[in-house]
Amino acid sequence: MQSLRFKELRITAQGLITIYCLFFSSVVFSQQLTATLVLRIGPSVGFPYSIELPSGSEITIAQRRDNWLMVKDARGETGWALMSDIDAAGGLPERQAWRLTELKEPSNSLLSAQWFANESGQGWGGGWIYPWRDYRLSAEYEQSKSYAAQWQSLSAWLTAGKQLSSKTFFRYGLGVGYGQENEESFVLSEEGEARSAGYWGSEISVGIMPNQEFETGIRFRYLLADLQATDSSYHLSWYWSLGI
């Protein structure tokens, strides 16, 4: 009788431990792959591939972010893969993977980068984007790649958008900034004149967004330092952003 009760208590305890592990803890799941699995460096299709694990590899899974899982192999290499890809490779079944507690909430902000062209040539830029209600707030820095015609700028933008389809969008907005240029540059000044000036601008862009963690597109901006047309600039850029 006591043996039966002990068995029932043991089964109950095991069940409670299993439920706790699935729903409330970051317990590590171990499997052996039956097919090749390719990992990315981050939980999004916007991140590049990092490593390919062959069939027979021993892997462990401890973290989930939306429908992505962090995978670690026996050598200590880590990366991210979709639940469906892990399931297809013989790892943790997708229906069980969804029960893992997320260790990080979906990203609320994005890091952005751009390659632009203006009157001084071409350049690069980087920034941070934060969704706010139905808008986006962003802060950006950009700099020309030319050593002769130097242009650099720090700006802030407020944009709104409209979905054209499930994966394409159109955005528009306004911004303010401060730029500096030398005598060889003529973004907001005449050629041969160095200048530092504040400006305001407007922008329109179109792009694609495969998921909430990645987007890329083409953007056009018009910058104006004052009411004179000679103190204006046109920016065309290709940009992309990743969730953080």
Q: What CATH number is associated with residue 68?
A: 2.30.30.40
Pick out the chain residues at pLDDT < 70.
1-30, 101-108, 147-149, 183-187, 189-194, 212, 226-230
Cα–Cα nearest to 100, from 30, 26, 33: 26
Please give the residue range of the domain that contains residue 65: 28-97
Q: Is residue 221 in some structural domain?
A: yes
211 in the same domain as 138: yes
84 and 145 part of one domain = no
Q: How many CB atoms lie within 10 A of CB 131?
A: 14
Between strands 49-53 and 58-65, the pairing is unpaired
Q: What is the pLDDT of residues 130-166, one digit of tens each?
A: 988 779 999 999 988 776 667 889 999 999 998 898 7
Residues 201 and 154 in one domain: yes
Interval 98-122: pLDDT, tens = 777 665 555 568 899 999 988 778 8
Residue 193: per-residue pLDDT: 67
Report H helices in 67-125: 83-88, 94-97
Domain closes at, from 73, 97, 121: 97
12: left (phi over 0), alpha (psi -120 to 50) or beta: alpha
Residues 118 and 232 in one domain: yes
- Copy the structure tokens of residue 114: 């751009």
> What distance in Å separates the CA atoms of residue 35 and residue 214, rounded to the nearest whole number?
28
Q: What is the pTM of this model?
A: 0.56
Domains contained in the chain, number? 2
- 22: helix, coil or strand? helix
CATH code of the domain containing 162: 2.40.160.20
pLDDT of residue 93: 82
What angle (nearest 5°) sits at the alpha carbon of residue 159, between those of residues 107 and 130? Answer: 25
